Amino acid sequence: MLKIEEKVVLAPYTTLKIGATAEFFAVIKSREDVLEAVHWAKSRKLPIFILGGGSNLLISGSVKGLVLKNEVKGSEILEDKKEYALATAYSGESWTKFVKFTTDHGLYGLENLFLIYGTVGAAPVQNIGAYGVELKDAFYHLKAIDLKTGHEKIFSLTDCQFGYRDSIFKKKLKGRYFIYSVTVKLSRKPDFKLDYGSIRTELEKKGIINPRLNDVVRVIQEIRNAKLPNPVSLPNAGSFFKNAEISRVHFNRLIKKYPAMPSFPIGRTKVKIPTGWLIEQAGFKGKAVGPVRMYEKQALIMVNHGQAEAKHALALVKKIKAAVKKRFAIDLEEEVNII
């Protein structure tokens, strides 16, 4: 029997530790729990909101309807071939634990995504990415439950409409499905992506020229720990903004004024600019509004020093967007989901 509570404070369930109350709240640990919750909410004509690890989320007010805390966990190898394997995890599983599961099985493809906080279910919503790799590069399919009907549907790579930190689940199907499991197709042979960020440099510092899988995972863990705060010790929601994508024409104008501006080409017509650099240049690295500030080691990360409210976070976001717009004529877009 699903236990449904009323007026539950949500801040403890988010890594930023900001949040008001849920009108109704339940923890789900199985497919049966999901179906029971769908039936309960439907009979009362209430919306459903899924809460995973709460790592990419800013709850700006009370949440109407039924909030489901996803605790459906576990990982398994579905199919194991000589050249590849299919690995599946349930959506409430920790993403980092799933990546560790795949690397422990000698599978290549997710190692660059190690130590991204959050759950497996959130990964396809965001099309999470790091160090030149995105989930879509290894994605096979996912299973989801329709929150209106309770019916299950399988989504292929094409169905998900993945984009940069984007998917159909953030747009057309936002709030429609509960992602139940995610399956990835991973290689049995090494195909490392080492030239994004400082991965290769750090490996070379250790004298590692021909890295093994555990070497890459260890170095990525060290890099991330060195510049990104652990939300357990310093509450944060990860990268608050997406990296900026601008036209090459716009970039050509900016580079004349800011020759040191880092950039990455996207095809022939666009260029990606690290938003952390833009925020730092606009003077907001380490800058605070009340108890929230942009982290001094990485300006893309908003941290909460305690007792912060949504109004503090939103005020800082507004100031940053205005400053970057004024200086660079770039409109920043939040990566964090604000509800």
Per-residue pLDDT, 26: 97
CATH number, domain at 34?
A: 3.30.43.10
Cα–Cα distance measured from residue 67 to residue 37, given in angstroms and rounded to the nearest whole number: 10
Per-residue pLDDT, 164: 87
- Per residue, the 3-state secondary structure of the chain, as one string, reads CCCCEEEEECHHHCCCCCCCEEEEEEEECCHHHHHHHHHHHHHCCCCEEEECCCCCEECCCCEEEEEEEECCCCEEEEEECCCEEEEEEECCCEHHHHHHHHHHCCCECCHHHCCCCCECCHHHHHCCEECCEEHHHCEEEEEEEECCCCCEEEEEHHHHCCECCECHHHCCCCCCEEEEEEEEEEECCCCCCCCCCCHHHHHHHCCCCCCCHHHHHHHHHHHHHHHCCCCCCCCEEEECECCEEEEHHHHHHHHHHCCCCCCEEECCCEEEECHHHHHHHCCCCCCEECCEEECCCCCCEEEECCCCCHHHHHHHHHHHHHHHHHHHCCCCCECCEEC
Per-residue pLDDT, 197: 77
CATH number, domain at 332?
A: 3.90.78.10
Q: Does pLDDT of 58 surpass 90?
A: yes
Cα–Cα distance measured from residue 232 to residue 210, given in angstroms and rounded to the nearest whole number: 34
122 and 207 together in one domain: yes
Q: Which of 75, 218, 239, 293 is catalytic?
A: 239
Q: How long is the chain?
A: 339
34 and 121 together in one domain: no
For residues 102-122, give the mean pLDDT.
95
pLDDT confidence bin for 292, thresholds 50/70/90:
very high
Domain tally, the chain: 3
169 and 298 together in one domain: no
Cα–Cα distance measured from residue 26 to residue 39, given in angstroms and rounded to the nearest whole number: 13
Residue-averaged pLDDT of the chain: 94
Summarize pLDDT for 303-325 with one digit per residue, the tens: 999 889 999 999 999 999 999 99
88 within 8 A of 183, measured Cβ to Cβ: yes
pLDDT confidence bin for 300, thresholds 50/70/90:
very high
Per-residue pLDDT, 235: 94
For residues 221-249, give the mean pLDDT.
91
220 and 279 together in one domain: no
Out of 55, 70, 85, pick the residue that ends a domain: 70
Q: Does pLDDT of 192 surpass 80?
A: yes
Q: Which residue range forms the structural domain that includes residue 38?
A: 5-70
Per-residue pLDDT, 228: 84
Percent of the chain exceeding pLDDT 70 equals 100
289 and 188 together in one domain: no
Torsion angles phi and psi, residue 119, rounded to 5: -105, 165
Residue 94's closest CA among 112, 77, 70, 111? Answer: 70
188 and 299 together in one domain: no
pLDDT confidence bin for 71, thresholds 50/70/90:
very high
Q: Does pLDDT of 267 surpass 90?
A: no
Summarize pLDDT for 200-217 with one digit per residue, the tens: 999 999 999 999 999 999
202 is catalytic: no
8, 238, 330 from 257: Cα distances, Å: 51, 30, 14
Q: Which two tokens stand for residue 266?
A: 């996207």
6 is catalytic: no
Q: Does pLDDT of 238 surpass 90?
A: no
Per-residue pLDDT, 116: 92
96 and 203 together in one domain: yes
User: Residue 337: what residue type?
Assistant: N
Per-residue pLDDT, 304: 95
**Core vs surface per residue 270-291: b (16+ CB within 10 A) or e:** ebbbbbbbbbbbbebbebebeb
Q: Which two tokens stand for residue 5?
A: 């509570």
44 is catalytic: no
Q: Which of 165, 200, 218, 293 is catalytic?
A: 165
Out of 52, 70, 88, pick the residue that ends a domain: 70
148 and 276 together in one domain: no
Cα–Cα distance measured from residue 120 to residue 94, given in angstroms and rounded to the nearest whole number: 6
Higher-confidence position of 56 and 65: 65
pLDDT confidence bin for 19, thresholds 50/70/90:
confident
Percent of the chain exceeding pLDDT 90 equals 86
Q: Does pLDDT of 227 surpass 90?
A: no
Per-residue pLDDT, 54: 87
pLDDT confidence bin for 196, thresholds 50/70/90:
confident
262 and 306 together in one domain: yes
Summarize pLDDT for 79-105 with one digit per residue, the tens: 999 999 999 999 999 999 999 999 999
For residues 59-67, give the mean pLDDT.
93
Q: Which of 111, 134, 202, 335 is catalytic?
A: 335
CATH number, domain at 191?
A: 3.30.465.10
For residues 235-252, give the mean pLDDT.
93
248 and 274 together in one domain: yes
56 and 88 together in one domain: no
Q: Does pLDDT of 120 surpass 90?
A: yes
For the entire predicted model, the pTM comes to: 0.86
Give, to the nearest 10 degrees, the angle between helix 95-104 and helix 213-227.
160
42 and 166 together in one domain: no
Per-residue pLDDT, 230: 87
For residues 35-53, give the mean pLDDT.
94
Per-residue pLDDT, 339: 87
